[in-house]
Amino acid sequence: MDRYVVFGNPIGHSKSPLIHRLFAEQTGQQLEYSALLAPLDDFTACARTFFQEGLGANVTVPFKEEAYRLASSLTARAQRAGAVNTLSKLVDGSLQGDNTDGAGLVRDLVVNAGVSLAGKRILLLGAGGAVRGVLEPMLAEKPASLVIANRTVEKAELLAELFDDLGPVSASGFSWLAEPVDLIINATSASLAGDLPPIAASLIEPGHTVCYDMMYGKEPTPFCKWATEHGAKLVLDGLGMLAEQAAEAFFVWRGVRPDTAPVLAELRRQLAAG
Ligand code: ATR
């Protein structure tokens, strides 16, 4: 049986095995997909052992940068992201690193939610790995502007410099921003602590601005609550991005694109029941 895994630490609550099992059932692909806990100091050895037999792996926190270094070749989007969430064993036995996070986000916005990014004023909150992972696919959609705002402004400035050959990207502090934008994406980890990045409510034009949180939970995240309270046109959480980055990885491995809608509905149902 063709074997795939997701590596992480912790990994117990990963939804990837369920998602890929549902994709495999839906597309009639014969494969096995499980979760593997890699020791914090031993990801590389674990991955090498797995790939003696295995064909592909997803990689999640905290190993995406290590996976980037492990891969012997990288796709252009993984190279730009500086991180790998999808490893594939090529026919010559070497490991190729890819990053499907940005494609997943863009697909969730553009295809699932019908929110075109072309010509839009976009604000990205945060400047960590989550932001770096999505910048190239987002800029490829040709927004009018893409502002990266971060608590530590220097990190936003570094990212803006790193990507400014790809489009109109700039950096900002949270408090410098007041003018409404078309789309706000929260890619900070503030929600994990029940926090909200300190941004002005005037950034939302009621009935117009779309707000997206890369995080998700049983209850709306603090950012999603804030967006709803201030009249955002559409408020989305990151469950769709999770399903779409998985579908993109499945496509990379199997050459078949699963339909994410029924899988996302099942994830939503389990989250609500959880
Ligand atoms: P990830 O890989 O999820 O992006 P990360 O690299 O640790 O994780 O980055 C976390 C991001 O969330 C950073 O942009 C961080 O801001 P700093 O660079 O200033 O540390 C941001 N962040 C975390 N907690 C936050 C909070 N309470 N308010 C605002 N931003 C926060």
Q: Determine how β-strand 86-89 pairs with β-strand 95-98.
A: antiparallel
Task: Give the Å distance between the CA of 125 and the centre of ligand 1.
Answer: 9
| pLDDT of 230 higher than 90 | yes
Q: What is the pLDDT of residue 51?
A: 98
CA 174 to ligand 1: nearest atom: 29
Phi, psi of 16 (to 5 degrees): -60, -40
| Residue whose CA lies nearest to ligand 1 atom number 26 | 190
Average pLDDT over residues 89-100: 98
Catalytic residue annotation? 64
| pLDDT of 274 higher than 90 | no
Mutate to test the pocket of ligand 1, among 189, 216, 242, 245 (most ligand atoms within 8 A of CB): 189
Helix or strand or coil: residue 135?
helix
Residues 119 and 233 in one domain: yes
> Rounded CA gap, 121 and 192, in Å?
26
Q: Is the dihedral of CA 187, 188, 191, 197 positive or negative?
A: negative
Band the pLDDT of 191: cuts 50, 70, 90. confident
Give the number of other Cβ atoms within 10 Å of residue 29's Cβ.
16
CA 130 to ligand 1: nearest atom: 4
> Rounded CA gap, 122 and 117, in Å?
8
| pLDDT of 117 higher than 90 | yes
pLDDT tens sequence across 161-184: 999 999 999 999 999 999 999 999
| pLDDT of 52 higher than 90 | yes
> Rounded CA gap, 22 and 13, in Å?
17
Average pLDDT over residues 209-231: 97
Which residues contact ligand 1 via a Cβ below 6 A?
126-130, 150-152, 155, 188-190, 193, 195, 197
Give me the count of residues in the chain: 274
Beta bridge partners of 53: none
Q: What is the pLDDT of residue 192?
A: 86
Residues 130 and 22 in one domain: no
Query: The domain spanning residue 189 has which CATH number?
Result: 3.40.50.720
136, part of any domain: yes
Average pLDDT over residues 5-14: 96
Q: What is the pLDDT of residue 42?
A: 95
Q: Which two tokens stand for residue 8?
A: 């992480």
Q: What is the pLDDT of residue 130?
A: 95
Residues 234 and 112 in one domain: yes
167: domain range?
Answer: 102-239
Q: Which two tokens stand for residue 215?
A: 């995080």
Q: Which of 63, 84, 99 finishes a domain?
A: 99
Q: What percent of the chain has pLDDT over 70?
A: 100
Q: What is the pLDDT of residue 244?
A: 98
pLDDT tens sequence across 235-247: 999 999 999 999 9
> Rounded CA gap, 263 and 102, in Å?
19
7, part of any domain: yes
Query: The domain spanning residue 50 has which CATH number?
Result: 3.40.50.10860
Task: Give the Å distance between the CA of 99 and the centre of ligand 1.
Answer: 20
Residues 110 and 32 in one domain: no
Residues 87 and 107 in one domain: no
Task: Give the Å distance between the CA of 214 and the centre of ligand 1.
Answer: 12
Give the number of other Cβ atoms within 10 Å of residue 152's Cβ.
11
Average pLDDT over residues 82-86: 98
pLDDT tens sequence across 141-160: 999 999 999 999 999 999 99
Band the pLDDT of 35: cuts 50, 70, 90. very high
Residues 95 and 106 in one domain: no
Task: Give the Å distance between the CA of 165 and the centre of ligand 1.
Answer: 24
Taking alpha carbons only, the member of 99, 114, 187 closest to residue 147 is 187
Q: Which two tokens stand for residue 205?
A: 């034009």
CA 214 to ligand 1: nearest atom: 3
For the question of whether the overall pTM of this predicted structure is more than 0.85, the answer is yes
Number of domains in the chain: 2
CA 35 to each of CA 40, 62, 148, 199: distance values in angstroms, whole numbers, following the listed order: 15, 14, 33, 37
Residues 77 and 106 in one domain: no
Give yes or no for a contact between 204 and 232, defined as CB atoms under 8 angstroms apart: yes
